[in-house]
Amino acid sequence: MIRDDDEELKEAVATLRSLIDKRVSDALEKSKKEAEQLASDRSDGLRFVRAELELKSGTGRRLAQPRNSPSKSTGSHERDAAPKLDLVLEELDKRGTQSGDITAYSGTVAYKDHKGAEYYLLVLPKRNLEIVVSNQLNHATYISVGQRGLDFWNNRSKIELTNTLGITTVLFRSSVQYRTKIGEALDELSYQKESFFDEELVVRPEEYDPALVRECISAYWHAMGQMPKQNSGEIKQGPYANGKTTWKAVASSLRKKSLKAKHQPGSPPVPTFAELAREVAIELGVYDAYVFRDLPFYEDGVRRTILDYFDLYGEWPTITSEVVTVGPYASKTTWDIIDNALRLGQRGLAGNRSLVSLRDVLKREVGISSNDGTG
């Protein structure tokens, strides 16, 4: 108990409490902002007005500016624009699409960092395609198979569009590159049957289901013979093999969800990508050095593993790179990793020991001479 006359100690305790309160407050505020950002990401997106536009006929046709549409960029904004709309129309013209075959709508993108950027939605019923294009350089062009309609495009975020099956994203690097990519996408998607995309897959980053991620991890192992890493690129097996989603995106999303759950009292825990991969490896009974690289060790667990090895094989384990096959760490580590952890004091173990020294201690405890068994 603090004495009443110990003012310095009281002041120090009060300062410490203030620091702790501030850290807790900062953590709660950060969690609140993350939640608000997630909600904001849901509302930000494309918003098209239902004001149909007319296409000018003739060579080099352009979309007529609607009465309520922003005028073409002028001044410094010209450096940030390119005639992407004209290039798209020219590629369509080359493929026999007439002005009367296109219905166009204008709209703006509602992102906070790109407010006011104008977009056009081109609907091509005969080709069964829809194209969303902006002349702004920092905005992608989206070419979609099927007639999704205004209700689909309105309020969709860029991430959602990128993760939607049946939508090709084209970025502008140069006029030649852009026209080539647009042409390739038009030719490829024109041959796709709409039924191929009937089961539309739109995954919001905060909605990755850990159970489905587990299925993807398991499918990857069966296909590749190893566990996926965060840098393994596009997911090509399992429920999220949609041609868009990457392991890095899934891992990042689960990490944020896990941290958010930890800062919200009462929220169920959310496993990270590493934890899911570890669960799958244990379930399959396979060892993967990457998955188990951070596996903590416990003194009793290591002792039990050594004794189980002796009980099963009648000899003591040696320092090799062989995978442990018995005890609590079966298929989760190797004997040389355990030895290094004992020597260096890693993964929760006390250091300055070795597999041999701990093995000798266990020999004495069970009444076996140090010279018995394997050396």
**34 — pLDDT class (breaks 50, 70, 90):** low
Buried b / exposed e over 293-327, threshold 16 CB at 10 Å, is: eeeebeeebbbebbbbbbeeeeebbeeeeebbbbb
Examine the fold and report which residue of 151, 178, 197 is the final residue of a domain before the chain moves on: 197
* Higher local confidence (pLDDT), 312 or 113: 312
- Asked if 216 and 240 count as a contact pair (C-beta separation under 8 A), the reply is yes
- Rounded to 5 degrees, φ, ψ at 70 are -60, 145
Give CA–CA dist 21/77, Å, rounded. Answer: 47
* Higher local confidence (pLDDT), 359 or 199: 359
pTM: 0.45
C-alpha gyration radius of the chain: 30
Give CA–CA dist 288/332, Å, rounded. Answer: 7
When divided into structural domains, the chain yields a total of 3
pLDDT-wise least confident of 4-8, 284-288, 313-317:
4-8
**116 — pLDDT class (breaks 50, 70, 90):** low
Range of the domain at 278: 205-284
* Higher local confidence (pLDDT), 274 or 373: 274
- Asked if 111 and 44 count as a contact pair (C-beta separation under 8 A), the reply is yes
Is residue 9 in a domain? no
Average pLDDT over residues 304-312: 90
183 and 214 assigned to the same domain: no
Is residue 31 in a domain? no
Give CA–CA dist 199/24, Å, rounded. Answer: 44
Is residue 280 in a domain? yes
Give CA–CA dist 220/276, Å, rounded. Answer: 13
Average pLDDT over residues 203-229: 85
Examine the fold and report which residue of 235, 259, 284 is the final residue of a domain before the chain moves on: 284
